[in-house]
A and B are shown apart, each in its own frame.
Chain A
Amino acid sequence: MDFGFIFITAITLACIYGTLAIGISITWSSLGLVNMAYGFTFSAAGFGAWYVGRLAQDLPLVADYPLLLGAIVIAAGIVTGALVGVMVCALAFIPIHDKPEFTVRGLIATLAISLIGTQVLLYMFGPRAKPLPTLFGDWKVSFGDIVITADKGGSIMASIVLLTLTLRWMTHSRRGLEIRAMMMNPHAASLVGIGVRRTGFYVMALTGGLAGLASVLLSQTYFVSPFAGLTPLIKGLSVALCGGLGSVQGAVIAAVILGFNEALTASFLGGQYVLITQFLLIIAIILVRPRGIAGILDRAREA
């Protein structure tokens, strides 16, 4: 059994799921919205990246530098994701966020956007899966047994760098403070002059961008298709739950655990058992720690 391969696969999956889970986690804790349209954001961003990539690959400069094309495709995915996030916010958060039963209504509204949006993608681009161009060139690094291929190494690097930047921005800027304040206490946030609606747009653009990033990175392994977002949505949600909704560190740890679980299960038992072992693991963790992994990490008392 090739443990080097399992290890690298696990880390790659952990990076991608972590990115998704952090997006879901931030949306839930700051806006109180379970964003069921996250899967749609994911596939729409994939199509955005594919479309821009197809337009850009014939440009003179881009044809010479494959890495430039990669950067353009990643940027296109992130921007499309952010735009879709803003759209979801305008349709499913702004009109109903202060009405009764918002949590359920928000869930249903985002689910509706997801269903309609997926059909629109199907209508526009057809059911055939589309490949994205190779983003990170063609190279290989090996450390002893462990061989890092370009697609995996690039995915790991890109998600770690962009996530670190995002988290730094969240701890060091005024906007970041705004979002974190909303995550911890929306009522108090309005008392210091934070407008819920405006913050909603920032949050949804940020998390949409993260979904776009994850989408572009994951399509180095899978293809872009209208229904591509469903599995990542389920996995992102379960990682976010397992890590404890609202906790970024928890989501990262849960993503690593579930990434290893997926890589190990896929190579020892077979890919069809991945969801089974994953949910068994999540149930076990939630039984022991009902608040998820964050329950262990949290040093501060609530309320």
Chain B
Amino acid sequence: MTVSQEQVARGEPILSVNGLSAGYGPMRVIHDLDLIIHPGERVGIVGLNGHGKSTLFLAIAGLTGWQRGSIKLSGHEVGGTRSQGPGRHTHKVVRRGLALMPQGDEIFHGLTVEEHLDSGAFTPKAWRERATRKEGVLQVFPPLRKLMQTPVGRLSGGERRMVSLGRGLMADASLFLVDEPSLGLAPKIGKSVMEALFAIELGSSAMVIAEQNVALLEGRVDRIIGMHVGKLKGEASASLAQHNRREA
């Protein structure tokens, strides 16, 4: 599914990033970056290690060391210039509808899987609907159903990834940022996790997946954007990317 012109015309973008720079201390990782994500889109961001994919996601959540530039989430400004206090406003951005599934899982190792999923629905609206949301997550990741009462710290890498992604899906979010969902997993498990992400009905929300392996995204997302040394370089609709590959 690609975003048609009328869809673009109808709704304002979910995410609109303008002139974003971000980094840590003296190091500048993101350089003057612009990005627009529309409702219903599934977008892949592809780039090598250390070229700023994770930093872009963290900057949107307000978790980098410093940042400047405009970030509009569903029309509300959540960016601006900030030189310290990483994470101070993250919870407000999350309340505006951001769900970040971070690299390295960032789990609560002592909570059970069920409590962990509940924690993902922390915002008041999601909390009231957490039972139905949990059912939805279990449909995306069926293996979790048997593990509901197990502490997350005892799970395997693949199960942890499912818990971490499931926590993001519990949120009442309009924008899902998924950072390297297949990283560190056996290829088969990584692929099934990706399949689960592709199968999720987005509705009016949007999903951005950062990934090093283009092959995992090809044909499954609406757009693929390359990232190189802190800048977005080149963009292709997925079908075009697939076509070029066949030609070559």
Contacts and interface: CB of A to CB of B under 8 A. Distances in A.
Interface of A: 98-99, 174, 177-178, 180-181, 184-185, 187-197, 298-303
A165 B123 CA distance: 25
B193 interface: no
B61 to A, nearest CB: 7
A288 B95 CA distance: 45
B115 A177 contact: yes
A192 B122 contact: yes
- List the 9 closest pairs (A to B, CB-CB), nearest first: A300-B153, A193-B94, A188-B106, A195-B91, A184-B108, A190-B90, A300-B151, A98-B85, A190-B87
Nearest to B121: A192
A299 B90 contact: no
Given A184-B108, A193-B171, A195-B91, 14 more contacts: A98-B84, A98-B87, A98-B88, A177-B115, A178-B122, A180-B108, A184-B110, A187-B63, A193-B94, A196-B88, A196-B91, A299-B151, A300-B151, A302-B153
A196 B109 CA distance: 19
B153 A98 contact: no
A90 B100 CA distance: 30
Nearest to B118: A177
B87 A187 contact: yes
Contacts of A193: 91, 94-95, 122-123, 171
B88 A192 contact: no
B40 interface: no
B111 interface: yes
B88 to A, nearest CB: 6
Contact of A303 (B61, B94, B109, B115): B109
A262 B137 CA distance: 51
Q: How large is the interface on B (under 10, 10 to 19, 20 to 34, 35 or more residues)?
A: 20 to 34
Nearest to A192: B122
B237 interface: no
Contacts of B127: 174
10 contacts: A99-B84, A177-B115, A184-B109, A185-B108, A191-B100, A192-B122, A194-B91, A298-B110, A299-B151, A301-B109
Nearest to B88: A98
B83 to A, nearest CB: 12
Interface of B: 61, 63, 84-88, 90-92, 94-95, 100, 102, 106-111, 115, 118-120, 122-123, 127, 151-154, 167, 171
Contact of A299 (B107, B122, B154): B154
B110 A191 contact: no
Given A174-B122, A192-B167, A300 B90 contact: no
A204 to B, nearest CB: 18
B107 A185 contact: yes
B106 A184 contact: no
A191 B152 contact: no
A181 B107 CA distance: 9
Contacts of B110: 180, 184, 298, 300
Given A181-B119, A299-B153, A190 B111 contact: no
A261 B174 CA distance: 57
A178 B118 CA distance: 10
Given A181-B108, A191-B100, A300 B152 contact: yes
A191 B84 contact: no
B171 A192 contact: yes
Contacts of A299: 151, 153-154
Contacts of B95: 193
A191 B102 CA distance: 9
Nearest to A300: B153
